Amino acid sequence: MYEQIRSIMGENSPDLSNNQSDLFTIQAHAPGVEGRLPLTDDLLRNAPSGDLFGMSQNVGMGWKPGELNGKQYLILSTQGGIRNEDGSPTALGYHTGHWEVGLLMKAAADELSSRGGIPFAGYVSDPCDGRSQGTTGMFDSLPYRNDAAMVFRRLIRSLPTRKGVLGVATCDKGLPAMMLALAGMPQLPGVIVPGGVTLPPTDGEDAGKIQTIGARYSSGELSLEMASELGCRACATPGGGCQFLGTAATAQVVAEAMGMTVPHAALAPSGQPIWLEMARQSSRALIQMETQGLRMADIITDASIRNAMVVHAAFGGSTNLLLHIPAIAHAAGLTLPDVQDWIQVNKHVPRLVSALPNGPIFYPTIRVFQAGGVPEVMLHLRRLGLLDETVKTVTGTSLSHVLDWWESSERRHVIRKQLQEVDGIDPDSVIMSAEHSQRLGISSTVTFPTGNIAPEGSVIKSTSIDPDVLDEQGVYRHKGLAKVFTTEREAIRAIKTGGIVAGDIIVLLGRGPSGTGMEETYQLTSALKHLSFGKHVSLITDARFSGVSTGACIGHVGPEALAGGPIGKLRNGDLIDIVVDRSTLDGSVNFVGAEGIEVSPEEGALILAQRPFHPDMRPDQALPDDTRLWAALQSVSGGTWRGNIYDVDRIITALEAGKKALGWN
């Protein structure tokens, strides 16, 4: 009867039986720490009791009583998993991006303490969008960002004696959350420490392509043996974000472009000496910021937000940053960039980086770092007059001074030379001049199609549409019949089983914030990229895409279907007309007919207005209440085009109006 309990409690273990006397011997008191707290008459009379008790806690944890007068700094991170001393796992993390960041934290903490500071550390781990692709775990992905940012800010405020904050994070939601948290503390010094990148396998596929092994195997384009081998070695080193310019890498780039990191911090190789030194550099920068009285409000400004948008365009970054950059601006109390701002930036900024997933040469992110990373790109942008160089960075100096240093630095010379001489790669083929980019015909990054399906707009990474499907003027034109799905599961099944063929237009509706928490649909976009016929298929959805997504994939359609958007009225067999001009960055997506009758976009809008919504469209039955609450709060705050933020004033106004309408006291 009690055998199960005995097994759990270890009473059947011979080792326990032999050591019971030690196990059950309990110490009931201890002498405490020798020494004295550095208290003064003024402290005892005027300091809050929390400050005084904090000293007791600090020595209780082992800090020397005589070293308690140092300035206190907080290190926050997204660390996950439990590593042994040799780096082997005791418990796995969710992803490589947070697996090694504890090493960054230790290096940063050692640097702080060596300079007389007292480091504190806290953790809010983050999920992996790659791991949750195609699962209900994706319903928590984007909402997590707001939740984590709030918890980070609560942790910052809960250590009232901190003088500044280091934010250590790597990946898709954890790093944007950390940036939101620091931006929301305008009177504190703060520095972002990016978690870097993992290396690609010497012989194999990157972490983006590897996510298509199921679709390629199902379509007969990959053997079981090859899928197994490629999948095993895709993450060639244990730490860092994925090897492509997806959301994780782009967020690192944007953090540096905004002045929130030390120079040449984004995309460093995780676990290597240059990566660890970046943590020490960040600690020194934080101490200097505090000494100089420099605060986050001095770093994150309207001008630095604009610089980040410019660098995003030059890199060809993830469209998810269209959600995160406005949210950072909101957290900092600044003007939120709108669609017209993004259009203006992308029309004026050339793409200068050749890397995964956009090409034209598919270099992994480590090559971008070796070619000079963010400061190298900014040198080219400086020559084009596209940056505000007066902005401050966490170095305590202006961007202009940072770029002057970078141009003549030993670091730049040595790293770029190594890429050329050791690896045989011309750095200028990875990060190129505007003239070189133009000669190669590389187009700007993002287009925002509108039309009767997307009256509020939509997003497509137009630079990554396969050139083979463009006309002579560089325009993508696709007029075809819709195949409509209301779940991603149905859509990927159709792709895997031959239900999607060249010429189709996939419509995935009801998957925006209110339906799924605005899930990523990389299962679909990656399959279309890597299947032989995929470049001849378009995708339209009110969901969003992974940062590694490419092709003729139109997302962020607004309004979302469940908020009354006309995309929710589309049916199988509807005729849809898509036009995307990669040169002018103009685009349209329109319903133009049904039942064999073609109509104008204006007539199509009238037909859609009279139609009922798709009968199968509804919030996913697995949508968590936590995400339903997030969807409601971000909706009254302006929705997707304001970055899925929590605008507290608007939320309170809506609640008060609702209470009044309902007659609630």
Burial of 612 (0-12, 13-18, 19+ CB in 10 A): exposed
CB 117 within 8 A of CB 69: no
Enumerate the β-bridge partners of residue 632.
none
CA dihedral sign of residues 582, 583, 585, 586: negative
CB 573 within 8 A of CB 598: no
DSSP track, 175-223: HHHHHHHHHT-TTS-EEEEE--BPPPPSSS--TTGGGGHHHHHHTTSS-
Identify which of 194, 278, 185, 270 has the alpha carbon closest to the alpha carbon of residue 236.
Answer: 270
Which residues, in sequence order, are CB contacts of 527 under 8 Å at separation 6+? Answer: 212, 215, 216, 492, 495, 496, 534
Residue of 77, 546, 549, 635 with catalytic role: 546
Cα separation, 467 vs 378, in Å, equals 27
The two beta strands, 553-558 and 597-598, are unpaired
Cα separation, 405 vs 375, in Å, equals 10
The residue type at 277: E
Establish how many alpha carbons lie within 13 A of residue 128's alpha carbon, considering only the half-sphere containing its beta carbon. 17
- Alpha carbon distances (Å) from 41 to 38, 45, 67: 10, 6, 19
The two beta strands, 505-508 and 190-194, are unpaired
Query: What SS3 class is residue 125?
Result: coil
Q: Which residue has the tokens 């202006």?
A: 398
The two beta strands, 118-123 and 72-77, are parallel
546 assigned to active site: yes
Helices then strands, each counted (H, E), the chain: 29, 14
Token pair listed for 610: 């009279």
Q: Which residue has the tokens 């032999």?
A: 18
State phi, psi for 508 to the nearest 5 degrees. Answer: -115, 110
Q: Which residue has the tokens 């900024």?
A: 349
Q: Which residue has the tokens 């009801």?
A: 510
Known catalytic residues? 546
